Amino acid sequence: MNNLLKIASVAALMGATVSASADYPARDITNAVVWGAGGGTDVCNRTIMAEMSEVLGVNVNVVNKTGGVAGSIGMNFVKDQPGDGYTLVGLSESNVTSAVQGGFDARFTDVWHPFIVGGSPDVISVTPGSGFDSFKALVDAAVGKPGEIKACASGAGSIHHLNLLAVEDGTGAKFQFVPYKGSAPCQNAALSGEMTVVVTSVAEQAQLIKGGKLVPLAVLVPEAFDIDGHGTIPSAFDGYPDLADVLPIMQAIGFAVKNDAPDEVKQVLGDAFEKAMASDALQAFGASNYYVLSGKHGEDAKDVFNALESQFAWKLFELGAAKFSPEKFGIPKP
Amino acid sequence: MEIVAIVVERIAEFGVVLVSLLSVKNVLVLFGATILGIVFGALPGLTATLGVALLTTLTYGIDHDTAFIALLSIYVGAVYGGSYSAILLNIPGTAAAATAVDGYPLALKGEGGRALGMTTTASLVGTVFGLLCLVLIAPMIIDLALAFTTFEKFWLAMFGIVISGTLTSRDLVYKGWIAGLIGLWLSTIGQEQLQTFPRYTQDLPALQGGIDIVPVLIGAFGIPQIIKALGRKLEGARDIALKRVLPELKTIGRNLHHILRSSSIGVFIGSIPGIGEDIAGWVSYGVARNTSRHPETFGTGEVEAVVSTECANNACIGGALIPLLTLGIPGSPPAAMLLGALMLHNVTPGPMIEFENPGFILGFTAILLLAAFAMWVSGMLLARQVVKVLRVPPALFMPVIGVLCVIGSYSLGLQLVNLYLMVVVGIAAYFLSEMEYPIAPLVIGVILGPMADENLRRGLMVSGGDVGEIFTRPWCIGLLVVIGLTIASQVPVLKRWRRKAWRRFAPESRDAGMEE
């Protein structure tokens, strides 16, 4: 009798699990974004999730779980949830540093099955009053007076900080780096005259560039970038070929589900993601936000994140900003 | 004459936009979102930021006008709603802690309904004042706000902590400052943001991200109140003298200078990026008391104080929208959420907003005006009913509040550690308040601590380690003098001297003077 009951309950449980993944999604999904509300990752996630929820037929609630080391609070939160596809994590390229900074105890792609919406290239800009009219003029000044020109980017180890470091590596310039809590405070510091140089993404700066509040000197990707209403921003690579060794370090904004989620769940999410990427709303979002849209997911996206992880982790380790050696996690050198 | 014609034309244009927004659907959304916002503001743990975030996703597929009506209504409603629980229960649901200082004593006197009526009208005036500043003098305000850089923000945070400590101490003023410093210390727990160095984390992952504000807020204000009420140490607020909730125009008229001054403070503080409603409320309270002819009645249920804080709170909304719409930089946490919502609707705020979205600012301000009036109407209707909760005996009522506190603390991050934090802080706060330590400065310390800490250290990075700049920048000197005066005004000798000097030099003068 007792055994019968056990068998029956196990069978019932198994039945429940099977039907749970076959019916996925049967209830609302939560997407925990590890970066702040209103930021690039947040807005991107809210846009893609709104489109995906139409395809999936359930709501996707986007919440922000910020803080920790490189988004470790939010990532660990989602990691501790069951891998049933009902809790996603909204993240970006900058989260790959969490492991070597002591916030996350695994390699990025060992835990996550990522989906990449895209990203906006980084641009190095100065205040209108600074007098610099070209990237070369800025570099020459920073080489001549090392460590005197004030440059800001969001927190140490962020993508914009790494881009700034790469500029220093590739050109021999040296800036006085001051970290701020995100790109908006950085740009605010530049507008108030506290900072001279600011490195954030084109998307984040576009309004200020068009309004003449910031002067863009160069984009930190190989190709020049057009902003309608302003003109073309040249590439920093022109004249500094060494930059090609250390750049580009491009944004990869998107979300992820845990690797141990059932294949059906990944399949359903992947299909919904592809449909959402093709939607008019997302294409319009990409264009108006100066994104280069990606649409990679699964193994393709893992390759992108593995490369970013190598770049980020080893750079931080060289800087002494990493708590652990990338070797501890088996992260290969770039 | 030409200017008059332009002004008339603009007002006509504004009227057309306003009327075009008033469809049945929009009016329903307007009131629905406003009342939801008031509930969010009144419930401990639910904040304006959370309310705006909730509606951001819900309004994604809706047309622009209706979506922005929902978002601005919930924002205005939530900032206003904090005054309900602050006045009636002494448990501020939002950062409206400054309103509780005098609002709760008013409720104890049986004047809760009157206080709510006053705050409702004050909130309306504050919101509309903020809106006018947004429309008329945004460029001037933005220049002033940009003068506030790293070091100034540090001093402003310190000022907030010092002044809340000074204003809330019943017996000895240094007890308030001690409470503020405890809060400041609590805020340093966790990995600091500039160099990610762990402080007081004891290697516990739960402490890595630092202390969440909401469980501290709920624990510190809610738990002692519940313990006291259930231990019968506290006569709950009564609802005996609910004469009228409707605005007393005479009282409003008498307080006009408070209203104007507090609204200006609210707009200015709101326009400084990264500084929110709470500091506006405290600064405005401090200025109201310092310029009053009878500062000794503050803290015992002074209508002036309640009006001042609520005006400033709501004027902050217009202020926070100024850098948001002109530079794309949000002035406060809910405004940051609003930025996300705007971008979801493919509107990127910034210097080019009028160029890329012609007529956007006009429509946006029209919606804000509608939201302000919807808040007033809902507030007037609700206040009369809400006061009735005071008729419920504490033995029934307080356990409900206890459950709400638990839900509020847990719901934000869904982390069990926040419940432990709420209980620990709550019990500590109970013993502190038994020893006559004020609780508000502790919470303000936790809220403003990171701002003080990071900006001081970041400022030293900017100045290349030069300590002198902290004391020599013009705004820094101003703030330093104000902080010094605030502290000095509490030294007994100076207090006596000030009273004497006041009597000699200004025997008949009114307390209207001094703007800001």
Convert the pLDDT of each residue in A52-74 to its tens digit: 999 999 999 888 887 777 888 89
pTM: 0.77
pLDDT digits (tens, 9 = 90+) for A226-270: 888 888 999 999 989 999 888 888 889 999 999 999 999 999 999
B451 to chain A, any CB pair closer than 8 A? The answer is no
Decide if the complex's ipTM is over 0.85: no
The least confident of A1-10, A158-167, B275-284, B342-351 is A1-10
Indicate whether A222 belongs to any domain: yes
Alpha-carbon span B257 to B279, nearest angstrom: 20
Q: Cβ–Cβ of A178/B458 closer than 8 Å? A: yes
| Same domain (yes/no): A47, A90 | yes
Answer whether residue A289 is part of any domain. Answer: yes
Query: Cβ separation of B329 and A206 shorter than 8 Å?
Result: no
A232 and A255 both lie in a single domain: no
pLDDT tens-digit readout, B82-108: 888 888 888 876 656 788 888 888 888
Are A13 and A54 in the same domain? yes
Concatenate the DSSP letters of all residues of A283-311 into one string. Answer: HHHHHHTT-EE---BTHHHHHHHHHHHHH
Identify whether residues A9 and A115 lie together within a single domain.
yes
What is the domain-level CATH number for residue A213?
3.40.190.10
Chain A residues lying within 8 Å of B47, measured CB to CB? none
Percent of chain B scoring above 70 in pLDDT: 90
A213 touches chain B (CB under 8 A): yes
A289 or A129, which is more confident?
Answer: A129
Spatial CB neighbours of B506, under 8 Å, sequence gap ≥ 6: none
Q: What is the DSSP string of A163-217?
A: HHHHHHHHH----EEEEESSHHHHHHHHHTTS-SEEEEEHHHHHHHHHTTSSEEE
Q: Give the C-alpha separation, A192 to B322, whole Å.
A: 15
Last residue of a domain, one of A246, A261, A282: A246
Same domain, A88 and A171: no
Q: Tell whether A318 is covered by a domain.
A: yes
In a domain, A200, yes or no: yes
pLDDT, tens digit, 9 for 90 and up, residues A80-125? 999 999 999 999 998 998 899 888 999 999 999 999 999 999 999 9
Segment B345-369 shows an average pLDDT of 83
DSSP state letter for B191: E
Contact A112/A266 with Cβ under 8 angstroms?
Answer: no
Q: Which residue has the higher pLDDT, B372 or A184?
A: B372
**Same-domain check for residues A6 and A112:** yes
- pLDDT category of residue B506 using cuts at 50, 70 and 90: low
pLDDT of B510: 42
* Pair (A265, A190) in one structural domain: no
- Point out the domain boundary residue: A200, A223, A246: A246
Grade residue B462 by pLDDT with cuts at 50, 70 and 90: confident
Residue A130 lies in a domain: no
B-contacting residues in A 150-189 (Cβ below 8 Å) = 150, 155-157, 176, 178-181, 184-185, 187-189
Are residues A16 and A68 located together in one domain of the fold?
A: yes
Q: Report residue B329: phi and psi, to 5°.
A: -115, 120
Looking at A246, A265, A291, the residue that finishes a domain is A246
> How high is the pLDDT of residue A1?
44
Return the number of other C-beta atoms located less than 10 Å from residue B264's C-beta. 22
Kindly report the nearest CA distance between residue B290 and chain A, in angstroms.
31
Tell me the average pLDDT across A130-141: 94
Using CB atoms, which residue from B149, B323, B415 is nearest to A194? B149
CA distances from B379 to A162, B249, B373 (A): 51, 16, 10
Note whether residue A128 is domain-resident. Answer: no
pLDDT band at A38 (very low <50, low <70, confident <90, very high): low
Q: What is the CATH number of the domain that holds A290?
A: 3.40.190.150
- Whether A256 and A240 share a structural domain: no
The minimum CA-CA distance between B36 and chain A, rounded to whole Å, is 18
pLDDT of residue A48: 94
Judged against a pLDDT cut of 90, whether residue B469 lies above it is answered with: no
Contact A150/B462, CB-based, under 8 Å? Answer: yes
Model confidence pLDDT, tens digit, residues B321-330: 998 888 887 7
User: Are A257 and A242 members of one domain?
Assistant: no
- Quick one: pLDDT at residue B253? 79
Number of domains within chain A? 2
Q: Is A131 within the bounds of a domain?
A: no
Partners of A193 on chain B (C-beta within 8 Å) are 146, 149
**Same domain, yes or no, for A295 and A191?**
no
pLDDT for the residue numbered B412 = 65
Range of the domain at A266: 2-120+251-329
Residues in chain B: 516
pLDDT at A288: 80
Query: Same domain, yes or no, for A208 and A255?
Result: no
Residue A227, in any domain of the structure? yes
Interchain CB distance below 8 Å, B330 and A38: yes
Nearest of B346, B472, B378, B414 to residue B38 by alpha carbon: B378
Per residue in A218-232, pLDDT tens? Answer: 999 888 888 888 889
Residue B122 identity: A
Q: How far is B379 from chain A (nearest CA, A)?
A: 29
Q: Write out residues 10-49 of A within 8 Å (CB-CB) of B.
A: 36-39, 42-43, 46-47, 49
- For the stretch B195-248, pLDDT in tens is 777 889 887 777 877 888 888 888 888 888 888 877 765 565 555 555 555 666
Sign of the C-alpha dihedral, residues B179, B183, B186, B191? negative
